[in-house]
Amino acid sequence: MRLDVPFRTRSLKAKLILSYLVILGAGGLLTSLVGSWIVSTTIMAQAQRTAEHDLMTARTIFEGELATLRQAVALTAPAIRIEAARDSPQLHQRLAAMLDDVACDFVTLTDAAGRVLLRVGGRDGAGDLVGDLAVVAAALTGQVAAAPGLLSTTQLARENPALAERARIRTVPTPRATPDTTTVLEEGLALMAAAPVRDPTGRVAGALYAGRLLNGRFELIDRVWSLLYQGERYRREDVGTVTIFQRDVRVATTVRDPEGARALGTRVSAPVRAAVLDQGLRWRDRAFVVDDWYIAAYDPIRALDGGIVGILYVGVLERAYASIRDRVILSFFAIASIGFLVIIGITYVMISNITRPIGDMVAATHSIAAGRLDQEIQAAGQGELTLLADSFNGMLASLRTMKADQEEWGRTLEEKVRQRTEEVTAMQVRVGQSERLASLGMLAAGVAHEVNNPLGGILTLTALTLEDLPADHPNRHNLEVVVQQTERCRDIVKGLLDFSRQSDATMEVLQLHDVLGQTLELIAQQSAFFNVQIERVWADDLPTITGDRSQLQQVFLNILVNAVQAMDERGVITIRTATRDGEAAIAISDTGCGIPAAVIDRIFDPFFTTREGGRGSGLGLAIAYGIVTRHRGHIRVESAVGQGTTFTILLPASAGGTAGDRPANTATP
């Protein structure tokens, strides 16, 4: 298949194969991407759960060490007598044995004031005060206490000078860590436990405390590492790491620096420090450790008073899990690609078998196009192709029939053209007649206007003649007939003028309140207004206007009738008058069905109506609009479906005219 050929010019087989490839490729790609995301998320989530579980194990071992230390001092303290502490070799041996049994770095006995009486494991000095140590202070109050704590190098030197040197770890600048000016640690992180020593009366006479310095001591973390990871490695690197931090500095760790040594003195990354040390939170996420990314878990290490003195960390190398993830995803894509190729091959064979009969039909159509209508298509079996062949053969039969009928159609074409020509001619006659009727209407309006004045003269002269004739004059009856017929002609002319809308307006200064009142009197007796309440809200200062009283009454009457019909002859009509920018404003509001926004711009068009059943001609509002316009005014409409409609008419005030007294606001049923 050539890929440079436009899609629509390809064969059906090529289109089917390409369409299937697009669908299959898009679906396969989407499935692969979703599957890859699920695999990646699952593997990394499993790595995070592994790190969290490992941290729980490390925390258990850490707290177990502390519990062992607490148990040792708690069991030893009751057997000690303070008064014989200085001169008792047996006590010294007992404390030395405890030192070896629980792997302590120092064991010390104090009196009730916290003054050292005896030290084992380092210096033999006595007399210094250690009551400021949290566990010692708790023991002197009668409690057995155990907790991690920070000891200054001075305090460590009193216990054992070697401990002070071990605590002094040089800090190392670390990528992604919070900058710090400290170069050497002057404190040490130690596990400490203390128990009260009582006299025969049960009173606290002193305290026994023991401690194990964690700085530079690797037995605890190596035991945790061996238990959790059993030496598992990835490309010559340990997969798992364990660390004890003194604040944010590694003081005991299995993490290695680029030279392969333990990365003592390196610092925790800034995000972890902010979350764990500054906020006291637990960290469960990927973290940058010295020079690589790990799936990590961090917990704060708290002293006896709750303050954070360090961090316990367990992490697994992210690259190890990423490698597993990548292998799984690549395997997934490889299997999907092989399946894709297999499906393409099967699809090609199946579509070729399906489209072969269609190719035969295409060859037959070329013969038919050459005029050979005797072709027949044969399709074996059942299915859509057989139906297509039958339809094709039926089409051929129809073509043969159409060819036979073609001459007959040609003979009837001339007759049809003649009939259409006659219809067009008749239509043109009707159009011409309509135009003549329109011209006749205009002519009638002009003639009526011209005849009106002579008729007035005839009527006047005849009436004057009748006044001069005696009652018994023989011509009086004839003149009375002339007057009657002239009045009849006058009425006919007036009707023509009204029909053609050509009658002259009688302009006068009007009080709109009077015009409105007269209009309301006209409709008061109409049955359509019996169930309609009309409320009047009229302004005191409404100006007079110049206009034709009867035409303005027609405007108000048309709007009121429309309002009643919109309310189905039941509701409230409110008529408000006001002065707006020197114009008289009349607002007529109803509580009817309202006008849809889609047609509100057409309501003033002649013959447009929204009423059903032949109600209304659609001229009322058009006539009202024309009358208001001829009075140099404006008419506006506002409506909301289901809430009603308000028509506002604005008419210019007459020069120097002001309204008289306003009729009282009333409600007319």
Is pLDDT of 154 > 50?
A: yes
4-38 pLDDT per residue, tens: 555 555 666 677 777 767 887 777 778 777 877 88
Percent of the chain predicted with pLDDT > 90: 36
Residue 472 and residue 571 share a domain: no
Q: How far apart are CA 560 and CA 518, in angstroms?
A: 13
- Residue 338 pLDDT > 70, yes or no? yes
CA distance 192 to 185: 19
570 occurs within a structural domain: yes
Please write the tens of the pLDDT for every residue from 68-112: 999 999 999 998 888 766 667 888 888 888 888 888 999 999 999
Distance in angstroms (rounded) separating the CA atoms of residues 133 and 263: 30
Q: Note whether residue 223 is domain-resident.
A: yes
Same structural domain, 493 and 573? no
Tokens of 133: 């140590």
Phi, psi of 640 (to 5 degrees): -135, 130
- Same domain? For 177 and 74 the reply is yes
What is the per-residue pLDDT for 664?
A: 45
Q: How far apart are CA 594 and CA 575, in angstroms?
A: 17
Least confident of 3-12, 155-164, 381-390: 3-12
Q: Could you give the CA distance from residue 563 to residue 590 in angstroms, rounded to a whole number?
A: 6
Can you tell me the distance from the alpha carbon of 228 to that of 219, in angstroms, rounded to the nearest whole number? 14
Distance CA 201, CA 208 (A): 18
> Cβ neighbours of residue 645 under 8 Å, at least 6 residues apart?
563, 566, 589, 590, 592, 594, 595, 637, 638, 639
- Residue 635 three-state SS: strand
- Among 504, 527, 543, the domain boundary falls at 504
Name 586's bridge partners.
577, 649
pLDDT value of residue 499: 42
CATH of residue 565's domain is 3.30.565.10
Rounded to 5 degrees, φ, ψ at 536 are -110, 125
As a residue count, the chain comes to 669
Q: Kindly state whether residues 462 and 556 are assigned to the same domain.
A: no
* Residue 256 in this model has a pLDDT that exceeds 70: yes
CATH code, domain with 67: 3.30.450.20
Q: In this structure, are strands 532-537 and 571-580 parallel, antiparallel, or unpaired?
A: parallel
Q: What is the average pLDDT across 288-292? A: 91
Distance between CA atoms of residues 645 and 659, nearest Å: 27
Question: Domain boundary residue among 458, 475, 504?
Answer: 504
pLDDT in tens, 603-648: 887 667 777 654 555 667 878 888 898 888 989 999 988 889 999 9
Q: In this predicted model, what pLDDT tens digit does every residue of 653-666 receive, in sequence order? A: 987 655 544 454 55
Domain total of the chain: 3
Residues of the chain with pLDDT > 70, as a percent, come to: 82
In a domain, 152, yes or no: yes
Q: Which domain holds residue 451?
A: 399-504
pTM exceeds 0.75: no
pLDDT band for position 188 (cuts 50, 70, 90):
very high
Q: 99: Cβ–Cβ under 8 A, 6 or more apart, which residues?
A: 106, 107, 120, 121, 210
Distance CA 610, CA 599 (A): 9
Using alpha carbons, list the distances in angstroms from residue 559 to 520, 555, 647: 12, 6, 8
487 with 516, same domain?
A: no
Same domain, 645 and 580: yes
Q: Residue range 444-451: average pLDDT?
A: 64
- Work out the angle at residue 553's Cα, subtended by the Cα atoms of residues 550 and 556, and round it to the nearest 5 degrees: 155
Among 312, 310, 303, smallest CA distance to 147 is for 303
Quickly tell me which residue has 């007269």 as its tokens.
518
Write the CB contacts of 265 (distance below 8 Å, at least 6 apart in sequence).
169, 170, 171, 172, 185, 249, 250
Same structural domain for residues 521 and 613? yes
How far apart, in whole angstroms, are the C-alpha atoms of residue 615 and residue 623? 17
Helix (H) or strand (E) holding 238: strand 237-238
In three-state secondary structure terms, 10 is coil
